[in-house]
Amino acid sequence: MTIKGRQPYIAGGRLSGRYHAVGLHIHWGSKNSAGSEHSLKRFRYDAEVHIVCYSEKYKDIMEAVQHKGGIAVAAIFLAADKTGRTHIHGLSKIVDASARTPIYESNATIPGSYSLKDMIGNANLEQFYSYDGSLTTPDCRESVIWNVFSKAVLVSFDGFARLWKLRDHSGNRLINNFRTVQALNNRTVYYRIKR
């Protein structure tokens, strides 16, 4: 992942140093089910974007995942906007491009160049939850510092509707690709507010 020829990064909050962004993926539900992997006050959003980053202390993500705090994930909630408005931030473009990728293991190119700020639209970067946890995909290593932004970014309902129509290599609908909300297991959850 490069933006304007440079690898983007995140820093600040509970992170020690820079964490290089290496990927972005989306978890979504279906027409009848919310798809975020986190919840706020037991409310789950339509989808959740994860920007996966690794600490500059390590040579790559494979080494970083072996260490507690080696990975940081910025999680952004997505909410379907049913008003019909057009949203032009990078996440809307990713949702739209994903929905235009009909063939299993194919790619879509999103023209232009984007900063991480462009990608996350109007997400409030000043207010977020943070905790030490695990990856949400096997083998669920406990190496992640989660940073979950508390305000959802709006994406057009039509974009979600197109995601719900995607199919895998066997023709099955690609829906509900999220891990269920997990118990806190005595973890401390921090909340950062704008000062």
Tokens describing residue 6 = 């440079």
Provide the terminal-to-terminal Cα distance of the chain, rounded to the nearest Å.
32
Gyration radius of the chain's alpha carbons:
16
Q: What is the pLDDT of residues 22-38, one digit of tens each?
A: 988 889 999 899 999 99
Taking CA atoms, 15 is separated from 75, 125, 159, in Å, by 14, 14, 33
Give the Cα separation of 189 and 41 in Å (integer): 13
**Domains with residue ranges and CATH for the chain:** 9-192 (3.10.200.10)
Tokens describing residue 31 = 């027409």
* Total-model pTM: 0.88
133: nearest Cα among 179, 188, 176: 188
Task: Please report, to the nearest 10 degrees, the dihedral formed by the alpha carbons of residues 160, 151, 178, 113 taken in order.
Answer: 60
Q: What is the pLDDT of residues 119-157, one digit of tens each?
A: 777 778 889 999 999 999 888 999 999 999 999 988 888
